[in-house]
Amino acid sequence: MRLYTCGVGPVGGSFPLLKHPCGLAADALKQAGHAFEIEKVKGFKNIPFSTPKGARDEVKALTGQEYVPVLVLDDGTAIAGEREIAEWAKAHPAG
């Protein structure tokens, strides 16, 4: 399982409202007991000129958009968005 994040990665404040979306997704996976790899993509989608050309091509090929976080399951299924990843993790705890 691989979690694509921005350069901030799975970090953030100690309060959920202050935590970055990539951190919220990572926390949901950890709480559900999942082991996963982190793949940081370059740039910040909402900051003009911060994303090098082609830096998010893999994410776009997986989901049709360039935003992260994106979770790719072992079977190749891609789940985009921190809420969607958290919902998936809650519904599929690690056995």
**Ranges of each domain in the chain:** 2-91
CATH class assigned to 2-91: alpha beta
pLDDT recorded at residue 10: 65
Cβ contacts of 68 within 8 Å, gap of 6 or more: 4, 5, 6, 21, 22, 41, 45, 56, 59
Question: Tens digits of per-residue pLDDT, 17-56?
Answer: 567 888 899 999 999 999 999 999 887 666 556 566 777 8
Section 3-29 average pLDDT: 76
Kindly report the pTM of this predicted structure: 0.84
